[in-house]
Structure 1
Amino acid sequence: MSKILLIGASGTLGQAVQANLGARHDVITAGRRSGTHRADFAQPGALAALFAAVGKVDAIVSTAGNVHFGPLAGMTPEQFNLGLQDKLLGQVQLALLGQQYLNDGGSITLTSGILAVEPIPNGASASTVNAAIEGFVMAAAIELPRGLRINAVSPTIVTESAAAYGPFFPGFESVPAERVARAYQRSVEGAQTGRVYRVQ
């Protein structure tokens, strides 16, 4: 049984990932407002405190991260910066610090999204952030020491969230969160690194 730190366990994807991995592993949950531990991964100090409390783990999984959706013509730098600071740099900081707390052969799994390769109106910030996460994963994979691995999961719109986000994704087919969770399982329990698992 592996010890896994799951960031964002209270969200739609996080709950599905916890249900999947929790059947076979010791899953420790963390989030801004819920979970065994509280931590805002956009704050480096909070992450440092989190890892100090949790200690060594075999895998780190992130299903968290916020981005701004809105028309490019009226988007402010502050709105665009939300996704850069939260979903992008939050997950990058998680990987940079987390590698020090991974046991040999451990893994990091981050979350990007379909907008990295399938842009939509009002999604310029999300497309930028998701593509940057995937670029980071591919680059980090060739440098991580001690057999550490890093991958990203890139889902399309999740069925359970379609009521809220469906209007942003006209014509996109949704996928159940349970099916997306299996991509996280592949990343954690498999052997590949530098991969982007696209679930569409």
Structure 2
Amino acid sequence: MKILLIGASGTIGQAVAKALATDHEVIAANYSGEGFKVDIGNPESIRALLARVGKVDAIVSTAGLANFSPLSEFTDADYQLALNNKLMGQINLMRLGREYLNQDGSVTLTSGVLSREPMPGSGVISMANGALESYVKASALELDAIRFNVVAPVFVKETMAMMGMDTEGGLSADDTAKAYLAAVTGAMHGQTLDAPDYV
């Protein structure tokens, strides 16, 4: 398969690229770094990327920005970032990208465990993650030519270690990538794939 991977230079993205590249052609796209350039917060940037890449069999996103902050300190900009990037940025990958998918293609987005297991400071991230999961479930009812799913990672051990956190409750990026591989190669549709279930 020919797979467009957005966020390929991130911690999870690199692991997903490695997992997919064993049997598939992976086209990397990033906000910065190697590969095609794209800003998922800008629909025109997504359109330009899709026009350059052309037809693919799958689109996978491990991208999406949103900030941690105490609820009382969230600014208008914090909410807009989560809505425009983490939420609509990924939704637009399906909205705009479905025309570039080959028959029986798939789109896989990224939410996260904070949709159902929030923590202090996760307000806008939990909001975006929960909205993504609901959107995928509802949209799948009207999509019959493509499969549409979302992966919900838990905290990634490599990121936790970088932040000086205890990695005990985390999952490695390589193990997290197994859920994305399942979403791309499996038959599920309208599902939230919890990453620990695929280890």
TM range (shorter): over 0.9
CA contact (8 A) 2:161 2:167 kept: no
- Contact 2:3 2:60 (8 Å CA) reproduced: yes
Distance in structure 1 (CA, Å) of the matches to 2:151 and 2:12: 11
What TM-score do the two structures reach when normalised by structure 2?
0.94
SS at structure 1 position matched to 2:142: coil
Which residue of the partner structure matches residue 105 of structure 2? 106
Count of residues paired in the alignment: 196
5 Å-filtered alignment, 1:38-187, equals: 38-146=37-145, 148-165=146-163, 173-187=169-183
- State the 1:76 CA deviation: 1.4
Where 1:142 maps in the other structure, the secondary structure is helix
Gaps of 5+ in 1: none
Post-superposition shift, 1:199?
Answer: 1.9
Q: Write the deviation string for residues 39-87 of structure 1: whole angstroms up to 9, x where unpaired.
A: 1111111111111111000000000011011000121122122111111
Residues 157 and 167, structure 2, Cα contact 8 Å, conserved in 1: no
Structure 2, unmatched stretches of 5+, are: none
Q: Could you tell me how far apart the structure 2 residues matched to 1:110 and 1:68 are?
A: 18
Amino acid aligned to 2:20: L
Residue 142 of structure 1 and its aligned partner are, at CA, apart by: 1.1
Name which of 160, 166, 188 aligns with 2:184. Answer: 188
**Higher mean Cα deviation, 74-83 or 106-115?**
74-83
The equivalent of 2:32 in structure 1 is: 33
Query: Secondary structure of 1:103's partner?
Result: strand
**Shift of the alpha carbon at 1:165?**
4.8
Per mean C-alpha deviation after superposition, the further-off stretch among 157-166 and 6-15 is 157-166
Residue 145 of structure 1, CA deviation: 3.3
What corresponds to 2:11 in structure 1? 12
Percent identity between the two aligned chains: 45
Amino acid at match of 2:102: N
Contact 1:61 1:108 (8 Å CA) reproduced: yes
